């Protein structure tokens, strides 16, 4: 057991010391659509967040998705919107939704502005649906347009998700730790084998396989919660 822990820590440190995949965000305002993993017939929750918020009083975001794979379930405003009126219509065309929010004064929080839930249809596993911001508009209380960069997201469909089973052998052991850390070390040389493997590695469910997932996985394997 001691050996396992040491190995796990060494592997984690190796990843921490070598990765530069997470560059610091710039100062430009950004809207990001998060990724998500889901099983067929399951639900996928994606978040739209704002960074470097210059102050906005209203927005409208038109988000498209693959209607063969996903179906809009519901939406709510994110933690970043403490006031104002939010509405999101998912039944307008069947392949895109439009989220609209407005307020009398500017909002400056850098946080989620919308949380959207999709239901996965009886789709074939190992497929994905892009979540593209087709058009968007932002304005402040002075009735001025606000330019904000937008970044799309993706929902990937896994077969059956077993959190921690990075190598998809049905067993969660030290090999899974090695697998995820090799992936984090260089995902081109050591790619994960499938969306299911990625979903198994996305321990925190934020749609991204990252160093925190490795740490969670090590803790779980070591019995540390």
3-state secondary structure of 91: coil
Closest approach of other proteins to the CB of residue 151, in Å: 20
The answer to whether residue 31 forms part of the interface with other proteins (CB under 8 A) is: no
Interaction pattern, residues 45-84, with other proteins; x per rule: CB under 8 A: ------------xxxx-----------------------x
Residues 6+ apart with CB under 8 A from 48: 31, 32, 33, 34, 61, 63, 78, 99, 112, 113, 114, 115, 116
Taking CB under 8 A as the rule, does residue 148 contact other proteins? no
The residue range among 4-12, 134-142, 150-158, 213-221 that interacts with other proteins, by the rule CB under 8 A, is 134-142
**Is residue 139 close enough to count as binding other proteins by CB under 8 A?**
yes
Residue 59, CA distances (Å) to 32, 62, 94, 95, 117 in order: 14, 10, 21, 20, 19
- From the CB of 59, what's the least distance to other proteins, in Å? 6
Which residue in 1, 23, 27, 143 binds other proteins (CB under 8 A)?
143
Q: Are 215 and 5 in contact (CB under 8 A)?
A: no
Q: How far is the CB of 100 from other proteins (least distance, A)?
A: 4
Residues of 27-37 as b/e, b for ≥16 C-beta within 10 angstroms?
eebbbbbbbbb
Q: Which stretch binds other proteins (CB under 8 A): 63-71, 95-103, 120-128, 204-212?
A: 95-103
- The contact pattern for other proteins, residues 174-213, with x = CB under 8 A and - = no contact, is ----------------------------------------
Of 96 and 179, nearer to other proteins (C-beta) is 96
The residue among 68 and 74 lying less far from other proteins, judged by its C-beta, is: 74
Q: How far apart are CA 221 and CA 91, in angstroms?
A: 43
Candidate residues 100, 109, 178, 221; the one interacting with other proteins per rule CB under 8 A: 100
Strands 56-64 and 96-107, bridge-based pairing: antiparallel
Cα separations in angstroms, 24 against 27, 28, 51, 152, 168: 9, 12, 12, 18, 32
């Amino acid at each position: 057991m001691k050996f396992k822990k040491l190995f796990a820590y060494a592997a984690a440190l190796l990843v921490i010391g070598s990765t530069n995949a997470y560059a610091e965000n710039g100062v430009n305002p950004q809207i990001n659509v998060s990724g998500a993993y889901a099983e067929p017939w399951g639900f996928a929750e994606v978040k739209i967040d704002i960074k470097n918020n210059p102050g906005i009083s209203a927005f409208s975001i038109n988000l498209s998705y693959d209607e063969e794979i996903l179906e809009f379930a519901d939406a709510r405003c994110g933690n970043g919107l403490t006031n104002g009126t939010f509405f999101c219509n998912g039944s307008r065309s069947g392949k895109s939704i439009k989220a609209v929010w407005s307020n009398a004064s500017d909002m400056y929080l850098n946080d989620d502005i919308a949380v959207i839930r999709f239901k996965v249809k009886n789709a074939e596993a190992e497929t994905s649906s892009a979540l593209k911001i087709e058009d968007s508009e932002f304005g402040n209380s002075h009735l001025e347009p606000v330019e904000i960069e937008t970044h799309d997201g993706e929902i990937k469909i896994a077969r059956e998700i077993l959190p921690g089973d990075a190598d998809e052998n049905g067993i969660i052991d030290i090999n899974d730790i090695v697998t995820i850390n090799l992936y984090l070390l260089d995902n081109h040389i050591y790619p994960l084998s499938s969306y299911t493997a990625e979903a198994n590695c996305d321990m925190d469910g934020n749609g991204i396989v990252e160093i925190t997932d490795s740490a969670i996985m090590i803790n779980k394997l070591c019995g540390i919660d």
